[in-house]
Homo-oligomer: A and B are copies of this chain.
Amino acid sequence: MYSDKYSSVTDAIAKVTRGSRVMVGSFGMAGYPGALIEALADSGIGDLTIISNDLGAPGVGLGRLLSNNQIRGLIGTYYNWNPEVATAYNEGRISVKLVPQGTFAEAIRAAGVGIPAFFTPTAAGTQLAEGKETRRFDDRPCVLEEAIHADVALIKAYKADELGNLVYYKTARNFNPVMAMAADLVIAEVDEIVPSGSLDPECVITPHIYVDVLTMKGN
């Protein structure tokens, strides 16, 4: 199926430049834009800030970017699945900003919907709130968190229509829809492209306004 947004994986990744802030959808290996990540690792583009829930496993998927020394900084929630992250951080090779997972998701959505900052009760009084403004609402301490925006988002969806409307598959949805709203350039890896009008308008999760490039594995 033809789409004017369609691009090869290689051409799509060529739009990522050295020093970019790159969001990547996934939770572990679910909803993971595998072909795009492989191409990004193959490209050797460096000095990246990767914004993702986790960093896969050592040398696998997003983990490859770390093994390749392509990463300058990480913003995310959970790196225990990839112990190389703690090692690189301890050795001063990368910066790491840990964010509670719900705050991370909400801050990415906030960037997408034009909310520069919000208060949340999550993390109040903990180490992760240090240096952040705290204010009471309904007598509950809340932390001011700022939106998280990226230059590029690499996301994984199940189907796209020709226009670029997206639907997802089960728990592969995770961070992908919010990341689709929060980056200047959004590249979606999909399994299939279907004709416009064949996705139910009630069930479109990411409207095509958010999607810049469509790509598919093996193309």
Contact = CB atoms under 8 A, between A and B. Distances in A.
Interface of A: 106, 110, 113-121, 137-138, 140, 142, 146, 167-170, 200-203, 205
Copies in the complex: 2
Contacts of A205: 202
B116 A116 contact: no
A202 B203 contact: yes
Contacts of A200: 203
Contacts of A170: 201-202
A119 B121 contact: no
Contact of A117 (B113, B114, B137, B203): B137
Nearest to A138: B116
B121 A118 contact: no
Contact of A118 (B117, B138, B202): B117
A190 B44 CA distance: 54
